[in-house]
Structure 1
Amino acid sequence: MHTTLVGGHRFVPPSRMPALKLYYFKIRGLAEPIRLMLADNGVEFENIMFLKDEKWFESKKQFAFGQVPALKEGDMEIPQSGAIIRHLARKLNLTGETEEEKVFADFFSEGLRDIHDKYCEIIYRNYEKKDEFLATTYPAEWAKVESLLKKYANGEKFVLGDKVSYADYLLFEELDIALILSSTVLDAFPVLKAYHARFAKREGLQAHIAARNYPVNNNGKQ
């Protein structure tokens, strides 16, 4: 496989990447930011989806930790959503150029993961507290995210300013599922609301979104 140097990093053109197989459940969940990033960058992959049934409990034995998402790239298997998206981002030059940018993208993404965990707590365990979550938890968290987003280009472009990074796909997906939970959840955060609307117009994302036929969560709540 031939690679070229882009911004000091090895960049693997999508057409030359090994065959990719992404395994997850038939929902958006932890795999959707990975799917969005691959689709937006023109990377072909096999989107293998499981239902949570007896077949899945037998199939899970093949994966490290017995969990998905998992990525198979040739003979290499990569578990854990964070490891997968960062691995692919390095190949696609979507991690940032400077060390400061890379660190920012990393901790920005980890913060979004914390928000997603709080979202899942409501969706899967405490759905009766949805209104309280929307009134207290989400506003506090989105205020922090909006403040961070303004660090580069005042939040008017991407997480790292002029350059798309893997953090953008995590942010877009988290905002998207938030808007499904409540269509007004971002009204108090104009920078985030504008970001979501702007990023949604990307051609690669629109094609993927139009084609997907699976829900946000396993339990039908959103």
Structure 2
Amino acid sequence: MPPYTIVYFPSRGRCEVMRMLLADQGQSWMEEVVTMDAWGQGTLKASCLFGQLPKFQDGDLTLYQSNAILRHLGRTFGLYGKDQQEAALVDMVNDGLEDLIRHIGQVLRNYVCRLQEEGKAQYLKELPGHLKPFETLLAQNKGGQSFIVGDQISFADYRLLDLLLNHELLFPGYLNDFPLLSAYVARLRARPKLKAFLDSPEHVNRPISARLKI
């Protein structure tokens, strides 16, 4: 049996980045899918340490909190920079992405609550400012021809890619205005194992959010 198990809702949400990372690193894992109805019954929620999913099993190690899981996988597979300085930068990028993900979560809740046109227009107006820090970091690293930090992929790259791909679903063509990020997405998508996962029905047909039904 695979050593890894992801317990989560039937969506990409907080776990698609973990799936992308594991797939690209040649790992297999099991999925325990929790429906919204099952979650609403409360039994599983009560058993979770912080009352939240995802839950991640690595052998006999049980982890909650998606960022803790990503850092654990980063350390496990050498995806945390080549030294302490790069590790600090990887953490910085990940924290910046966390801020943006929380912000877009609020936008999407408004989007679903029939404020979509106003909310979409406002978010697209703000988007260049949100993405500028990541384009700046890419530009500073070998002119945008490498990864977000250093010369090897890190868990922050998978998280950034996940966010950019989700944006592409919500706002098709938005990356046309961000040439470095557009090339970055194309470059990462071309990694053979990652490409196979991203082209798989499991990924393509998995919604961004089960709760918001998008």
Q: CA shift at 1:45, angstroms?
A: 1.1
RMSD (CA atoms): 1.7
**Structure 1 position 125 matched with structure 2 position 110:** yes
Residues 195-218 of structure 1: CA deviation (Å, up to 9, x unaligned):
011111111122222131321112
Q: Give 1:47's aligned residue.
A: 31
Residues 94-123 of structure 1: CA deviation (Å, up to 9, x unaligned):
100111110001101110111111111111
- Residue of structure 1 aligned with 2:10, choices 22, 26, 30: 26
Q: Give 1:178's aligned residue.
A: 167
Going by fraction, where is helix more abundant, 1 or 2? 2
Q: Give 2:209's aligned residue.
A: 217
Q: CA shift at 1:180, angstroms?
A: 1.2
Alpha-carbon distance between aligned partners in 1 of 2:193 and 2:106, rounded to the nearest angstrom: 31
**Structure 1 position 95 matched with structure 2 position 80:** yes
* Number of residue-to-residue matches in the alignment: 204
Q: CA shift at 1:153, angstroms?
A: 1.6
Alpha-carbon distance between aligned partners in 2 of 1:140 and 1:92, rounded to the nearest angstrom: 32
Q: Read off the aligned partner of 2:213 and give its amino acid letter.
A: G
**1:199-214 equivalences in 2 (<5 Å):** 199-209=188-198, 210-212=200-202, 213-214=205-206
Alpha-carbon distance between aligned partners in 2 of 1:163 and 1:196, rounded to the nearest angstrom: 15
Unaligned runs of 5+ in 1: 1-16
Bigger Cα displacement from structure 2, 163-172 vs 41-50: 41-50
Contact 1:18–1:73 under 8 Å retained in 2:
no
- Residue of structure 2 aligned with 1:161, choices 150, 158, 166: 150
- Residue of structure 2 aligned with 1:139, choices 90, 115, 128: 128
Alpha-carbon distance between aligned partners in 1 of 2:173 and 2:206, rounded to the nearest angstrom: 23
Q: Read off the aligned partner of 1:87 and give its amino acid letter.
A: H
Q: What TM-score comes out, normalization by structure 1 length?
A: 0.86
Contact 1:177–1:216 under 8 Å retained in 2:
yes
Q: Which has the higher contact order (CA 8 A, sep 6+)?
A: 2
Q: Read off the aligned partner of 2:123 and give its amino acid letter.
A: F
Q: Read off the aligned partner of 1:207 and give its amino acid letter.
A: A
Contact 2:2–2:29 under 8 Å retained in 1:
no
What percentage of aligned pairs have identical amino acids?
Answer: 32
Contact 2:161–2:185 under 8 Å retained in 1:
yes
Alpha-carbon distance between aligned partners in 1 of 2:123 and 2:129, rounded to the nearest angstrom: 10
Alpha-carbon distance between aligned partners in 2 of 1:75 and 1:62, rounded to the nearest angstrom: 16
Q: Give 1:66's aligned residue.
A: 51
Q: CA shift at 1:25, angstroms?
A: 0.8
